[in-house]
């Protein structure tokens, strides 16, 4: 890739789209994250591409012209990549990277993420902050430039030296054991403990006063000396623009084996911590300060129960009095990622809405939220400090994430992409929206990808692809679940949003709550019926697939119908009782399904394994051994149950992947295996085992 963005060129031997060859698809640039300079003149994003050995994706920082006049240009090219950009008030660009310290001796150890700074006036990036265990998060006070970082620290270690000593002693003693005194013990794909994330106040970063010489050693002040083990990275925090406060989402026990989060406020000068919002029936997160540092907006997610799914609303909180006011009462969507307008009179937020992930503006005067975006799914929202514009990454099934500029007030916008290195101009088909009517009369919205050439005389085979979650919806681009790879091979791909999908109102979620095998299943079948009624679809050649909750639905479909020729199930739930006992956050799922010992009804009615004898459809089972959300035992038991019943089946096993498939080589063989399995059973072709398997 060159230093400036250029459109993908096509030669005589180039396939008609990058989706026709798996290697071309895997090599596509992938944008993620966005940072806007204080003066609004610079917009920076992270772009991931294959490394020199094509064994991993490596990110670099690129600058995008906010005015849309100049081509994007590459800013960094470290051998280990760069990510998490954020601007300081003076215009310096901070980022994290595992690139080695150029002044340090080589000790052969694995480098950890450190904080680097790229000067506003150009020049080489310099190392400004590092710790032996790495820096996992950074936030900057918008007015003062004070810096807060998150770094993992061993229990009882008062400083970096003690932390490193404890780690060294464990390593030298050959100790890898972990002693847990509370639930849970792991999260997604990693063990929790013994170190936990701490929040450190750095203040002003030391400047490099003499070229070529190290800057002064920064002072690390622990704002969370009593930090306990959180589920996540500990980076859910915000710094007030005046540098006086740090608002932090803090986890605490909720019952014998549960967790919930509250919002606490840390006064930087004294280190004093006080509770800002503590709701025993909700999780509080995603805090953001007003421009005058006097208020906070945050997300309140009500705790789910056996009878009710969660719900989301935004809260306005006075920093001094801790008084709260609901900002989005009666708003029948789930707001997220809130932040204030430049003048502090409104809050922008994102929410799923009718198969899109839209940008909304809610004025503080209590008027209803206004949807600013039309099509697409938005993320990484940035508000210009002069109030002139909003910037975000926009994606959809017609585009991967690309940067766009929005008007802060106009509704129904569909902005054009700013010049960037990630735009794809050629797709092997067309996208349309499709509605179906469920058995109870409810509208079920879907996206349908049709391959080129599909018509009444040449109908395409159909693949039903069920989303995960389940509390999400098909609305945005996904590199892991890309329908265009299938469309390039002639398949139509149906992406429905059945009961439990968000963005269609609370009642739509309730329709499937605790009854995964009921309305979600019948909604999916209604969507398939609507697609098969189209002249472009060959209803005699169909398949179903999905991952996570989508994998559960794929398993459930296999036990309920034989209308499909093949089923692909990835990271799937098979034995609900076994899953809830082994997953990384069992208390979350048990709220919906109940205690399996005292409330077995929903397990008995909704667990696919109970109906294994009904399976007649060939199945491809896919699972990663590092998946702690849906542990490998689910895939192993499903595979055994299929094999002992003689169901034609295959098991694609990834010893070192988690809930997703995150390395290029494994991602490629994932698609190759899925395509080969579909070709055999849907198209009637001879089975062709992927070469590297």
For 108-141, give the DSSP string.
-PPP--EEEEE-TT----EEEE--TT---EEEE-
The SS3 assignment for 601 reads helix
455-483 pLDDT, tens digit per residue, is 999 999 999 999 999 999 999 999 999 99
The predicted model gives 653-669 an average pLDDT of 97
pTM of the predicted model, to two decimals?
A: 0.95
Return the structure tokens found at 418.
Answer: 């700013």
**484 and 400 in contact (C-beta within 8 Å)?**
no
Tell whether the model's pLDDT for residue 283 goes beyond 80. Answer: yes
- Span 331-346, average pLDDT: 98
The confidence score (pLDDT) of residue 79 equals 86
pLDDT at 522 over 70: yes
How much of the chain, in percent, has pLDDT values that exceed 90?
A: 90
Q: Express each pLDDT in 105-123 by its tens digit.
A: 666 567 899 999 999 988 8
What's the pLDDT score for residue 547? 98
Query: Torsions phi, psi of 87, nearest 5?
Result: -90, 145
The pLDDT value recorded for residue 111 is 84
Does the bond joining 194 to the residue before it have cis omega, within 30 degrees of 0? Answer: yes
Q: What mean pLDDT is predicted for residues 530-548?
A: 98
Tens digit of each residue's pLDDT (9 = 90 or more) over 180-228: 999 999 999 999 999 999 999 999 987 765 555 555 678 899 999 988 8
| pLDDT-derived band at 10, boundaries 50, 70, 90 | very low
The pLDDT score that the predictor gives to residue 217 is 75
**Confidence (pLDDT) at 11:** 45
pLDDT for the residue numbered 6: 41
Residue range 141-193, pLDDT digits in tens: 999 999 999 999 999 999 999 999 999 999 999 999 999 999 999 999 999 99
For residues 266-291, one letter each, b for 16 or more C-beta atoms within 10 angstroms of the residue's C-beta and e for the rest, the string is bebeeeebeebbebeebbbbbbbbbb
Question: Which among 24, 17, 8, 61 has a CA at the least distance from the CA of 423?
Answer: 8
Query: Contact at 8 Å (CB) between 143 and 242?
Result: yes
Residue 446 confidence (pLDDT): 98
Are 87 and 95 spatial neighbours (Cβ–Cβ below 8 Å)?
Answer: no
Mean per-residue pLDDT, 32-38: 97
207, 210, 212, 217: CA torsion to nearest 10: -40
Region 631-642 average pLDDT: 98
**Lowest mean per-residue pLDDT among 213-217, 245-249, 334-338, 434-438:** 213-217
Answer yes or no: is pLDDT of 273 > 50.
Answer: yes
Could you tell me whether strands 537-547 and 460-466 are parallel, antiparallel, or unpaired per DSSP bridges?
A: parallel
Domains of the chain, CATH where assigned? 429-681 (3.40.50.1820)
Q: Which residues of 69-99 are buried (b: 16+ CB within 10 A; e: fewer)?
A: eeebebbbebeebbbbbbbbbeebbbbbbbb
Average pLDDT over the chain reads 94
Q: Angle at the Cα of 260 (from 150 to 624), degrees rounded to 5?
A: 70
User: What is the predicted pLDDT for the residue at 107?
Assistant: 60
């Amino acid at each position: 890739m060159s230093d400036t963005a250029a459109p993908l060129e096509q030669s005589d031997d180039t396939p008609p789209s990058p989706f026709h060859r798996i290697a071309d698809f895997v090599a596509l640039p992938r944008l993620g994250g966005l940072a806007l300079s204080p003066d609004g003149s610079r917009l920076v994003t992270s772009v991931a591409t294959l490394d020199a050995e094509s064994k991993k994706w490596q990110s670099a920082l690129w600058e995008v012209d906010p005015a849309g006049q100049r081509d994007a240009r590459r800013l960094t090219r470290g051998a280990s990549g760069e990510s998490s950009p954020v601007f300081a008030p003076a215009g310096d660009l901070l980022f994290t990277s595992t690139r080695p310290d150029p002044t340090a001796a080589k000790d052969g150890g694995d480098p950890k993420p450190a904080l680097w700074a790229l000067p506003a006036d150009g020049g080489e990036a310099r190392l400004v902050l590092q710790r032996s265990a790495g820096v996992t998060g950074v936030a900057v006070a918008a007015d003062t430039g004070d810096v807060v970082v998150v770094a993992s620290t061993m229990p009882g270690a008062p400083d970096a030296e003690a932390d490193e000593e404890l780690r060294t002693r464990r390593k030298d003693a050959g100790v890898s054991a972990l002693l847990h005194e509370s639930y849970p013990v792991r999260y997604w794909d990693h063990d929790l403990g013994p170190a936990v994330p701490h929040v450190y106040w750095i203040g002003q970063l030391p400047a490099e006063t003499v070229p070529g010489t190290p800057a002064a050693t920064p002072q690390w002040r622990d704002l969370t000396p009593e930090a306990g083990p959180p589920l996540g990275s500990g980076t859910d925090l915000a710094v007030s623009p005046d540098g006086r406060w740090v608002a932090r989402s803090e986890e605490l026990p909720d019952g014998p084996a549960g967790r919930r989060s509250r919002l606490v406020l840390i006064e930087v000068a004294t280190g004093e911590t006080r509770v800002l919002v503590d709701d025993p029936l909700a999780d509080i997160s995603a805090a953001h300060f007003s421009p005058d540092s006097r208020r906070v907006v945050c997300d309140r997610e009500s705790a789910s129960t056996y009878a009710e799914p969660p719900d989301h609303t935004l809260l306005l909180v006075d920093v001094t009095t801790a008084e709260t006011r609901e900002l989005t009462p009666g708003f029948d969507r789930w707001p997220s990622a809130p932040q204030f307008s430049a003048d502090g009179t409104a809050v922008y937020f994102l929410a799923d809405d009718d198969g899109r992930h839209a940008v909304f503006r809610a004025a503080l005067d209590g008027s209803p939220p206004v949807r600013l975006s039309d099509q697409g799914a938005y993320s990484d929202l940035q508000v210009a400090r002069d109030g002139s514009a909003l910037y975000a990454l926009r994606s959809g099934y017609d585009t991967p994430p690309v940067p766009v500029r929005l008007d802060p007030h106009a509704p129904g916008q569909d902005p054009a992409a700013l010049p960037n290195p990630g735009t794809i101009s050629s797709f092997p088909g067309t996208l349309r929206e499709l509605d179906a009517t469920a058995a109870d009369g409810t509208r079920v919205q879907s996206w349908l990808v049709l391959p080129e050439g599909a018509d009444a005389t040449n109908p395409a085979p159909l693949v039903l692809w069920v989303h995960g979650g389940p509390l999400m919806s098909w609305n945005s681009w996904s590199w892991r679940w890309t329908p265009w790879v299938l469309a390039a091979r002639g398949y139509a791909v149906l992406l429905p949003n059945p009961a439990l999908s968000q963005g269609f109102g609370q009642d739509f979620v309730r329709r499937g709550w605790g009854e995964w095998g009921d309305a979600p299943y019948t909604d999916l079948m209604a969507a398939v019926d609507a697609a098969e009624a189209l002249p472009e679809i060959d209803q005699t050649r169909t398949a179903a697939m999905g991952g996570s909750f989508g994998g559960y639905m794929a398993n459930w479909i296999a036990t309920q119908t034989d209308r499909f020729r093949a089923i692909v199930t990835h990271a799937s739930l098979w034995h609900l009782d076994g899953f809830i006992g082994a997953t990384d956050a069992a208390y979350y799922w048990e709220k919906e399904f109940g205690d399996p010992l005292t409330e077995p009804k929903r397990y008995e009615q909704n667990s696919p394994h109970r109906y294994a004898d009904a399976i007649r459809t060939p199945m491809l089972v896919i699972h990663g051994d590092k998946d702690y959300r849906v542990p490998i035992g689910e895939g192993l038991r499903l595979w055994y149950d299929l094999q002992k019943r003689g169901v034609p089946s295959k098991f694609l096993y990834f010893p070192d992947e988690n809930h997703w498939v995150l390395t290029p080589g494994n991602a490629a063989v994932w698609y190759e295996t899925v395509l080969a399995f579909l070709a055999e059973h849907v198209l009637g072709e001879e089975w062709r085992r992927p070469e590297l398997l």
